[in-house]
Amino acid sequence: DTGVSQDPRHKITKRGQNVTFRCDPISEHNRLYWYRQTLGQGPEFLTYFQNEAQLEKSRLLSDRFSAERPKGSFSTLEIQRTEQGDSAMYLCASSERGMETQYFGPGTRLLVL
Amino acid sequence: LAKTTQPISMDSYEGQEVNITCSHNNIATNDYITWYQQFPSQGPRFIIQGYKTKVTNEVASLFIPADRKSSTLSLPRVSLSDTAVYYCLVREGFQKLVFGTGTRLLVSP
């Protein structure tokens, strides 16, 4: 299966700790998106990369959040000084230039205690 | 970005056809209509996308009237495994997707 992969699938951390998630997009896709989903709600956009350039960030992405895609392939999303309100499913999606369909990974479920 | 409105939930039985209607009164000329399916603890899965009239694939059909202010996702002969949340979205090009709360479809035996 060469779909979008995310690691880890689950993460439990204590409030105040830093966490980092990884997303590997479909290999030929140059666009990569991060979304966050809380229980009972649809996913909310966080940020978007085209190759290595971060082109858009949501206001949801506070200063404690940072995302990178250094080589235009995989991406990382780091949350510093986690808070209980950060508990959510973090989803990554990718799309191919010229094709608008976004393909999602399985997500990383974060629980902040 | 156009806002979408769809029913919060729907119930059906195995073997029935399910039609989920979405309204998007403020859809823009360049917007496409896209539907995703999501199972618990999984990422959304692309189902179908269209611009106007009718689109059909191996999973579903999408009906879009001439004014494009609404669309209907049609799932033929649903099974228990079609129980999921279905999201209707409109977006232009490769922009971020804006999800609503979706329609929770429950298929019973």
Q: How far is CA A18 from CA A13, A62, A74, B63, in A?
A: 8, 14, 19, 46
Q: Which residue in B has a C-alpha nearest to residue A30's C-alpha?
A: B94
pLDDT of residue A46: 94
Judged by a CB distance cut-off of 8 A, whether residue B81 touches chain A is no
Tokens 């195995």 found at: B14
Residues of chain B with pLDDT under 70: 1-2, 92-94
* Cβ atoms within 10 Å, residue A29: 17
Give the tokens for residue B16. 């029935």
Could you say which residues of chain A have pLDDT below 70? Answer: 1, 99
Of A56, A97, A103, the CB nearest to B46: A103
For position B79, what pLDDT does the model report? 96
CA A93/CA A23 separation, integer angstroms: 8
> What pLDDT sits at residue A75?
97
Give the pLDDT score at A11.
98
What does the pLDDT read at residue B6? 94
Give contacts of A58 with chain B, Cβ < 8 Å.
Answer: 96
